Structure formats: structure tokens, C-alpha cells
Amino acid sequence: MFNIDNILRKNIKELVPYSSARDEFKGEASIFLDANENSYGSPLNRNYNRYPDPLQWKVKNRLAEIKGVPAKNIFLGNGSDEAIDILFRAFCNPGVDNVITLPPTYGMYEVSANINDVEVRKVPLRTDYQLNMEAIAEAIDEHTRIIFICSPNNPTGNSIDRQDIETILANYNGLVVIDEAYINYSRQKTFIQELTEYSNLVILQTLSKAWGLAGLRVGMAFASEEIIEIFNKVKPPYNINEASQELALEALQNVDQINNWIKETVAEREKLIAELTQIPFVLKIYPSDANFILVKTGNPKGIYSHLVNLGIIVRDRSKVELCEGCLRITIGTPQENIELLNALKSFQESDKI
């Protein structure tokens, strides 16, 4: 059985969190002389002279409506990366505990582990990019605190089998983090509705991808109230700035626009896959539930340089284990995708000479 006290670091359990001026007085007032802010205003003519809401309730309440989950089960971070870092700082003792990652996958889990001096046990995906359940079971020991599952996975693009994730959630006593950065593009549904079922579940999502707000740095974690309280205790008091909160709230009114972009991106993805299949040096296109595709070619370096020369940048993943020969290509606008295809076809021609 999962019990948060078994994995929470002792220093975090005993931590007295920073108490800000905004924590100590929450009522209505007309004169605020409690936070050493500039009472005269800001040069920007907005209320940026005031500290922002430390718990971002307006944004969370709107997200609660959109996601169908209570606001108390939501944490907002300065990107998902902040949520990942807090997981290490709250639950993993440096030099003692370990986490499991399932490569090829998102690089931040390992970087964050290294920063926090936490051992990473890598259990590679199978060649079909699904979980190696036996190897995961073998890798777990009494110091394993977190298993990171990225679904849809970056850079492979596929969703992880739901039944396998549920098996881990039901049988593993540590935290199971499901990174759903690309869930909006997926045929699979989110695990958010499973939060009531599994107390060890943490779901990561972000405004950086489908919501088109990578520049604002707003990531989300969904988890039990008990876990969210730990996040809030450890985070810097004002981790989401006022401008980001205001703009995120404004953007979250435009659900229809986002849904249209998602539909268009998915349609473009399928079109691009169909077109790429016709190109002889494209050896394989992996099925994608994301806004990118992983494409195996005979000459990834040559194609990458050829595209760069034409001002088109893709991600070279050809050195990554299990992604040999692969480029990761983000789905662009229809016009960008046409230009990409033309550029690729011109490589095909020069290659023949």
C-alpha cells in the first residue's frame, strides 16, 4: 500500500514553509503596507507592483473546470520542469534513493535526478517502445521512490499501454509520474480521472504544447491533496509571476481555438506521415499520438544538414539508443509542412547525383 510517510524526506516532513505577507493576511483591505512593495505603482501601469497570488487560485479554478478535477488537486509550476524538480527534492534523499526512467524518453527526469544527486535506474523500452514490465519489476528496490512514465512518449511519439501503467500503479508502493505533455494529441485519454483510484499517481501536463504558451512557463501537476500540499510547501512562494497568471487565465478562455489547432495538427500529422511514406530514404515512420513524429532514415546526419541549409530545423535523435537513424520532426503549419516535404524531396534528388 502507498503511504506518503514512507517516501517523504524527513527534512520536508519537518519543514516549516516560508510564510509570505499574502499568506498571513488574506482578507479585503484598501491599504496594503505589509509586503514592502512600491505603494506608488509600477512603471507598467498595471498591478505588477503587488506580489502575485502564491497559489494561483484563479488559474487553478479555470483549469479545474476544463480538466474536471478539483482545484485542490492541482499544482502549478514554472514549467513542468519545476514539478519534476520538486518531486526529487521532496521525495528522494540524495545519495540514497533512486528513481526509474524508461528511455528513450524526456531528458529532464535524468538531469533533475543528477542535479539532486539521485540515482537513475534506466529500464529501456522494448523495441516496440512499450514497457518492459519484468525489467521494471527487477529494477525496483526499497529505495526506489519514483517511476517516470512519459505517455505519449517523447521522442518516440507513442502512448504507453494503459493496462501496463495501471498494473504499475496498483502494485508499486512509490510515486508513479505520468507525463502527459502531449495528451491533447493522443487517442488515449488522460489518467486524471484515475486520481481517485490511485493515491500514488502524479500526472504532469503543461501549457507549453497544445496550449501554445511555451514562453509563459506554466506546467501543471495533478495529484492527491496530500501530494499537492507537499508541492506547495516546497515551491518558491511566488513561482508563477503575475503576468503569466493573467495571460494563462486569458488563454484558458479560448478552449475552442485550442481544440481547432489540435484537430488541425492531428490532420497534418496524418497527412505528413502519408507523404513521407512515399520518400525512398524514409525507412520507417513510428506511429504518433503527439505533435511530432519520429522518422527513421538511412542518412540522418546528411538530411539534418541539408534541412539546416534550407533554414529548417528538426531534432537529430539518431545517437539515442533505440532511435538509431531517427529524426524527430514537429508538426508545423500546413505551409511549413509543405516546405519540409519539398526540402526532403530535394535531398532525395541531390542524393541520386
Residue nearer to ligand PLP on the CB measure, 154 or 184: 154
Residue ranges in 52-71 that form contacts with ligand PLP under rule CB under 6 A: none
**Among 145, 138, 141, 165, CA closest to 153:** 165
170 binds ligand PLP (CB under 6 A): no
User: Which is closer to ligand PLP, CB of 112 or CB of 337?
Assistant: 112
Instruction: Quickly count: other Cβ atoms within 10 Å of residue 219's Cβ.
Output: 22
Question: Nearest to ligand PLP by Cβ — which residue?
Answer: 79
Residue 332 C-beta: closest distance to ligand PLP, Å: 16
Task: Please report whether residue 289 would count as binding ligand PLP according to CB under 6 A.
Answer: no
**Torsion of the alpha carbons at 58, 59, 64 and 67, rounded to the nearest 10:** 160
Q: Which of residues 75, 91, 106, 129 is near ligand PLP by CB under 6 A?
A: 106
C-alpha cell at 204: 504532469
Nearer CB in complex with ligand PLP: 292/347: 292
In the set 85, 97, 179, 289, which binds ligand PLP (CB under 6 A)?
Answer: 179
- Of 92 and 290, which has the nearer Cβ to ligand PLP? 290
What span, in angstroms and rounded, lies between the C-alpha atoms of 81 and 220?
10
Q: Binding string, 219-258, against ligand PLP, x = CB under 6 A?
A: x---------------------------------------
Question: From CA 221, how far away is CA 242, in angstroms rounded?
Answer: 19
- Residues that contact ligand PLP, how many (by CB under 6 A): 13
106 vs 129 by CB, closer to ligand PLP: 106
Region 135-154 residues binding ligand PLP, contact defined as CB under 6 A: 150, 154
Amino acid identity at 345: K
Q: What share of the chain is helix, strand, coil (3-state, %, to 5)?
A: 40, 15, 45
Residue 85 found at the interface with ligand PLP (CB under 6 A): no
| Gyration radius of the chain over CA positions | 22
Rounded alpha-carbon distances, angstroms, from residue 283 to 41, 273, 325: 60, 12, 9
3-state secondary structure of 282: strand
For 289, the grid coordinates are 499520438
Binding site for ligand PLP (CB under 6 A): 79-81, 106, 150, 154, 179, 181, 206, 208-209, 214, 219
